[in-house]
Structure 1
Amino acid sequence: MSKMTEAQAEAVFAEIDADGNGEIRLRELRDYGQANGGAVDGVKLAEFVRGADTDGDRRITLTEFKAFFV
């Protein structure tokens, strides 16, 4: 897994969070993945969702995103 700085993680999160609501939904991940070779900073999307969605609500918050990548 690739590590990012907090600033990098925030920038990538904002890029994926297309509607700007502060959560990455599976649809946004799918769209981002299709545009970027099926990965987020070298991590496959399925692996990312399994590891990052700690509360199981099928949405990734900035806190969860940072915990996974930083």
Structure 2
Amino acid sequence: MNTMTEAEAEALFSEIDTDGNGEIGLSELRDYGKASQGAIGGIKLAEFVREADTDGNRRISLAEFKSHFA
């Protein structure tokens, strides 16, 4: 996708990672999605999780997030 700079991706990741554990869980994505009309970076959350969660653990690491957006 590559639509953000690394710094922008890191800032957005930090905004979504509300518990600060270094991973974005599905509940954090849901909460963020409610606040952003169900999209992140212009794509639907379900599509984002399917594409970005490369290890299949249903959590998005910073590396996965940056790989998808930056």
TM-score per shorter chain, which class? over 0.9
Task: Quote the RMSD (CA, aligned, Å).
Answer: 0.9
Identity across aligned pairs (percent)? 70
Q: Residue deviations 1:17-59, cap 9 Å, x none?
A: 0000000000000000001110111011001000000000000
Q: What residue identity is the alignment partner of 2:14?
A: A
Provide TM-score, normalisation by structure 1: 0.96
Determine the structure 2 residue equivalent to 1:6. Answer: 6
TM-score (norm: length of structure 2): 0.96
Moved over 3 A (4+): none
Query: In the alignment, is residue 51 of structure 1 matched against residue 40 of structure 2?
Result: no
Residue ranges of structure 1 left out of the alignment (5+ in a row): none
Unpaired segments of 5 or more residues in structure 2?
none
Structure 2 CA distance for aligned equivalents of residues 62 and 2 of structure 1: 14
Residue 57 (structure 2) pairs with residue 61 (structure 1): no
Alignment-derived partner of residue 21 in structure 2: 21
